[in-house]
Amino acid sequence: MDSFETGDKITIVNRSKEHRISKELIREIPYFERMLSHDLKESKENKVELDFNEQALKVILNCVELDYMLIEMATVINLCNIIDYFGMDNDLMDDCVTYFHDNFTIEHLPIVVPQVTAASRCINSEALNGFICRHFLKIANTKVWLNYPIEIVEYILNLNLVVHSEKQVFNVISRWVNNDSRSRMRYAERLLYLVRWHHFTDVDFSEITKNEFLKSAGFHPVLWQRKKRNCHRAFNRVNQNYFIMIEHLIGTNLNVKVIDSNFVQLFGREVELDESIPLDVFHDEHVSDIFFDSGKRGIRIDWSRNKYRWLDLSTSRNYYSKIEIYINGRKEAKSFAPVSHGNPTSSPNGVIENAHLETTEKFIWLYKFRHCAYIQSSWHEKFDHKDYHATFLGDNIYMLTSSRYFIRFDSVFQEIERSRFKNTFGEFEDLLITSSQVNDDRVIVVDKTTKDFLCYNVKSKEWSSIDVKINNDSTDCQMNSDELIAFTSAFLPIDAIRSYMNPELS
């Protein structure tokens, strides 16, 4: 190669690979333009050493030389990191981010997780982990979970997952191993160490020790479980579900109170409206979405900054179905758009409102039309009530209708029982209904006007009043609250509640 050619090109050494490219072309990238415009070592030697993912760097160099960019899930996050480092056009970054959010599903986790860092521009590890934790049981119920490599299963099980019991984590491990027990049983003990045995209840522990999978794995959790009183190896993942009370203060400020299962206030926060909070489905772990009014309304709270923003659920089908697509894939995800013959939405009246109930394991959709309400996308169940409030508890849906009926449905949406709601509460539109998804047997009805609370015990089938122990003099929020906006159950990020937890429980 002659001296002219040598001087006209620069050698890029990236890890074990070398690339030679025209200086004139590479100057289109701001990083190289600055480097070649100054009397630097790299400029003199026509050589620069980098440390990037080779596939992603090759995409960048092809973009420079051939004027096109191939964006794929296998490289998109690494691509964003390089674009950011090189100071390239923001439009390229936007294209990568749009591609990721338009195409990602949990099937891509094996190629996405190795790319993600705490500072990734496309999606960071905190946001990705938050999504995995919040929807863990939905993810684990998919066929995709069964096909994950051991590295991804291990990665996920190490997180502070949203679960009701560590027994659920055990069951997920068992399901993954048993899907291919011949080759995976060797990983069983390795994964079972990720179950937080010291946080098992005595009842669950007694039951689990008789499990055939545990015996086949040759794992003995007794010593782990005995350490639970003094063990602080990891946060108790079960302690993430709380009741949330939201009240209106002065102007747009809200008072958010977090209440434990005994209806004692854990802490309160005054939060301020901030319309600049992003509304992406993927959000950082210090942010949480709280839904109420049967999932028809929602609020996003940034606990680290004490800010909030209302979620626009007027198009809630898009918001929730996007999560459904991320988990079940674009082909497998159920369409929430009615398609069956004789569908009520094909009539001029159409759907005027839909509600969304989310459990840790699935989504449930309820539909309301101008003159009646429907449940289940097949439209088999019709209710002669103009309105309803609904909540999910165990395997049942509990509905309070505008006709003052209290109705229970089973997991296949068959009515089990109904009774008259005879309590002397106020107007129907002033009522709220909720329940805790974690180890509870109560349905809660609240009158927003009087702030009276009623509890229905699903075992005794009896109603009783509740004394909610609220501390209005909390140092977190000194202002007197006014209108009650919501009382609901929600999973909170660990960072928001850790300092309020009893150390023996964490």
Q: Tell me: do 219 and 245 sit in the same domain.
A: no
Q: Tell me: do 216 and 274 sit in the same domain.
A: no
The pLDDT tens digits of the residues spanning 85-113 come to: 999 989 999 999 999 999 999 999 999 99
Q: Is the pTM of this model over 0.95?
A: no
Q: Which of 111-125, 353-367, 370-384, 421-435 is most confident? A: 111-125
In a domain, 458, yes or no: yes
Q: How far is CA 392 from CA 106, 258, 294, in A?
A: 25, 20, 9
In a domain, 233, yes or no: no
| pLDDT at res. 337 | 36
| % of the chain beyond a pLDDT of 70 | 82
In a domain, 177, yes or no: yes
**CA distance between the termini of the chain:** 67
**Total number of domains constituting the chain:** 3
Q: Which of the four pLDDT bands, split at 50, 70 and 90, describes residue 453?
A: very high
In a domain, 362, yes or no: yes
CATH at 79 = 3.30.710.10
In a domain, 285, yes or no: yes
CATH at 149 = 1.25.40.420
Domain housing 204: 128-163+165-226
**What is the rounded (10 degree) CA torsion for 46, 51, 55, 59?**
-50
Q: Which of the four pLDDT bands, split at 50, 70 and 90, describes residue 142?
A: very high
| pLDDT at res. 227 | 53
Long-range contacts (CB closer than 8 Å, 24 or more residues apart) made by 59-65: 60/29, 60/86, 60/88, 61/12, 61/19, 61/21, 63/92, 64/21, 64/25, 64/26, 64/28, 64/29, 65/21, 65/22, 65/25
Q: How far is CA 46 from CA 9, 11, 63, 240, in A?
A: 7, 6, 21, 56
In a domain, 36, yes or no: yes
Q: How far is CA 437 from CA 59, 361, 392, 397, in A?
A: 46, 11, 8, 12
Give the Cβ contact number of residue 399 at 10 Å. Answer: 24
Q: Tell me: do 245 and 220 sit in the same domain.
A: no
| pLDDT at res. 331 | 60
Q: Tell me: do 260 and 220 sit in the same domain.
A: no
Give the Cβ contact number of residue 276 at 10 Å. Answer: 6
Q: Tell me: do 491 and 360 sit in the same domain.
A: yes
How much is the mean pLDDT over the chain? 83
In a domain, 234, yes or no: no
Q: Tell me: do 303 and 445 sit in the same domain.
A: yes
The whole-number average pLDDT for the span 167-194 is 95
- Candidate from 54-63, 123-132, 315-324 with smallest mean pLDDT: 315-324
Q: Tell me: do 261 and 213 sit in the same domain.
A: no
Neighbour-count burial for 306-336, b at 16+ CB within 10 Å, e otherwise: bbbbebebeebbebbbebbbbbbbeeebeeb
Q: Report the residue count for the chain.
A: 506
The pLDDT tens digits of the residues spanning 201-256 come to: 888 888 888 888 988 888 877 655 555 544 445 568 888 889 999 999 889 999 99
Query: Residue 281, CB half-sphere, CA atoms under 13 Å: how many?
Result: 21
Q: Tell me: do 180 and 35 sit in the same domain.
A: no
| pLDDT at res. 223 | 54
Q: Which of 5-19, 43-57, 135-149, 338-352 is most confident? A: 135-149
Q: Tell me: do 88 and 159 sit in the same domain.
A: no
> Whose CA is closest to 160, among 503, 496, 500, 502?
496
The whole-number average pLDDT for the span 495-503 is 65
Q: Tell me: do 493 and 381 sit in the same domain.
A: yes
Q: Tell me: do 412 and 475 sit in the same domain.
A: yes
All residues at 6 or more sequence positions from 244 whose CB lies less than 8 Å from its CB, including other chains: 256, 257, 258, 259, 290, 486, 487, 488, 489, 490
| pLDDT at res. 329 | 85
In a domain, 60, yes or no: yes
Whether 469 has a pLDDT exceeding 90, the answer reads no
Q: Tell me: do 340 and 428 sit in the same domain.
A: yes
The pLDDT tens digits of the residues spanning 175-188 come to: 999 999 999 999 99
